[in-house]
Each structure stands twice: as C-alpha cells, then as structure tokens.
Structure 1
Amino acid sequence: MDTSNSLKSDFSVTGKSRVRRAAKRASYRREDIYRLVDELKLGHIGFTQDGEVIVIPMTVWRHGDFLYFHVPNKSRLQKLLESGQQVCISFARYDEWVLAKSAYHHSANYRSVVLFCRGERVQNPKEFDTVFASIIEDIEPGRWSQVRTPSVQERKGTALMRLTIEEGSFKSRRGAPSDNKEDLDLPVWSGTKPACPFS
C-alpha cells in the first residue's frame, strides 16, 4: 500500500477508542494500525440502520492515510456515509492458540484493530483509478497495466468510498500461556500452536 503522507502521528484517543481491558497490549500508533490493515484487507464494517445494528465484512484497503471500499452506487452504506454517519471497522487475526495447563488460562495470540471513520464518495476520476490500481497492484504487481480498466458504465454503477479515520486502536497478544504457579507441575502439555496451520 502507498505510504505517502502516512505515519504522521498517533491517533487521538477518546473514551470511545481507548482500550480498557489489558490496556498494556494497546497501541494508538498509525504504524501498528496500518500494518494490520494492509496485511488483512478484510474489515467488518459496523453501523446502525433504523435502530438495528448491522456488521458487514468488506474488502477494505488503505491508500495514504485513507481507507477505501467500493459498493454498488446508491447502496445503503454509501447513503449512510454521505449522510455523515460514523461507521466502526474492525480487523482481526488469530495467529496462535495459547494452550495453558488450566482451562481458564487458554487464550490466543492475536492482532486486532478497531477504527471509527466517516466517509464520502470519490468523485475525481484520477483518484478513482489510482485507488483501484493500488489494491490490484498490491495483490499482484504489474497487473493494473495488463487488465481492462473500468468502463464508463462500471464507473457509474460503482461508488468508491473514501474513509477518514477519526480515531482508533491496535491491540495484540503475544507469548506463552500465563499459567498459575501452582499449575506448572500438572502433567499436561502447554504452549502455542498455529491458529490456522494452512494459512
């Protein structure tokens, strides 16, 4: 992903984005947040509509300091963002299962991001192409120059949404099980194992 004009500073922290449980595992650094977003590119977008909470998994990618995703023109997410409503996007990956000697202390080594954003539709054709090229080039370098670019009809039917991150946090866990001292002699294996051995 493009890193120009990025990594300017940490995100501001309010009561909404502050990590309370295991706060020592939290970070508000753009570098930590951007790294996971760039790696996963699968975000779960949460919003409210008619008093109901809805979460939708979407391809979300970063270009500079903005996040982008695309939806059909006149979709509910487009209308919601254009009305000024804030959305919450989460990214998460389990890297390892943490198996302890007690059931209570089983855990996972993970990385996660929660972001609060507002957005708008990209209207500039040059930005439209640049941003779409960035995700395709990230998947396979050199591919944008090989494929057909979006047609006039495809551009009309697609709303590319640009999200400004207003605040957010990164949280992770790494390391071995946190066994109680009195459990260390129990005759059961403890340690870590890949959460998804085929990834």
Structure 2
Amino acid sequence: MRKVTLLFGLSVCLLSVSCQDQPVPRAARSTHQAFDLVGFLDQEAKSLEQAHAQVKKTVLEDGQVMETKTMQDIEWAQELGTFSEADLNKPALLGLFDVQKTTNAQGQQVYQFTAKEDTDAMVQKATYTLDGQGRLVQLEATLLQKNFLFTTHKQLTLHAQPGTHPQLQSYSLDESQTLLFSNTERYGVKGEVVR
C-alpha cells in the first residue's frame, strides 16, 4: 500500500511538472531583487565540469547515514538544479518578501528574505551571505510546497569560497515529505566538493 501511495504521489508530481508553462528566456524572467542564484549555479556547474570535480556524497534517511561515497562524472547542472528553486528573481515573486540586511562579524553582507504572511510562495525564507565584493559565501533557504496530496518541506544550504574556481565547497538538502494518509518520510543529501 505504501508503494502504491508513493508511486501515485510521484505520478502526480511528474504530471504537475509536465503541465507547467514552457521556460521563459532568462533575461525575461529576472527581476534582480536578490542575488543572481541561477547565474551562479550555471557558472559553477560549468566550472565544476571543466575541473572534473568529484563530490563526497552522504545520503541520509530519517537522520541516519545510509551511504557515503565519492562520486565522479557528475552532471553538475542536474546535481545543483534543486537549488534554483530558491531563486527569488522570478517576476511572480517580486514584492512577496520582507528583506532585512545586516553585516555579520566577518564584515559580510547578510540579506534575509522572508515570505510575507499572505503569500503562497514556495520559498518561505532565503538568506544570502555575500562577501565585500558581492560574491556568494553562503545560501540557506527554506521551501514549502503544499497541496491536497502532499506537503514537502526542504532546507537547502550551499557554501562557497569566492576567489577559487570552482567556488562551490559544499551543499546539502534536507527534505521531509508527508503524503496523504501516510507517514512523513525524511531524507537528505550532503555533498562536499573534492578537488
């Protein structure tokens, strides 16, 4: 029964993705209200592929380490694709966030975007930490997707070291999903770039 429920949920997810509008050219869909995350991810994917970078990946299920191994020949655009969900520069998201700017102890600029209460944006919170030259040091984002069949909660974290190529150091995704009439499943992936 659990497999049937899971397969049904995945089928609905795939159907909803396949019914979405065609992608809009990047120049037409950018509002520049936040750091250019999509541009950063594109640049890093290319840089990581050119460097033939490997990743030490740890897979977790319900908080327990299931497997850790070093992987090579990675499709980096696909590997980092989930992080583009935290992009705040889509025209539909303009004005949906409260923004707080602070400076941390290292002199880095911290921009915290929090979804306004009356919005249904998938990104609930995103915190970008930038160095003095506006380069990404860290991203933390909380995403929530809810409908009548399932609730998915994602916590994304990405660490970069500006001035190195590639800049990406590590990333993680912690996700919990509750399907209708089912228990909550929790899993995660942590990746550490190996040079």
TM-score where L is the length of structure 2:
0.34
TM-score where L is the length of structure 1:
0.33
In our comparison, the structure showing a higher alpha carbon Rg is: 1
The structure that is strand-richer by fraction is 2
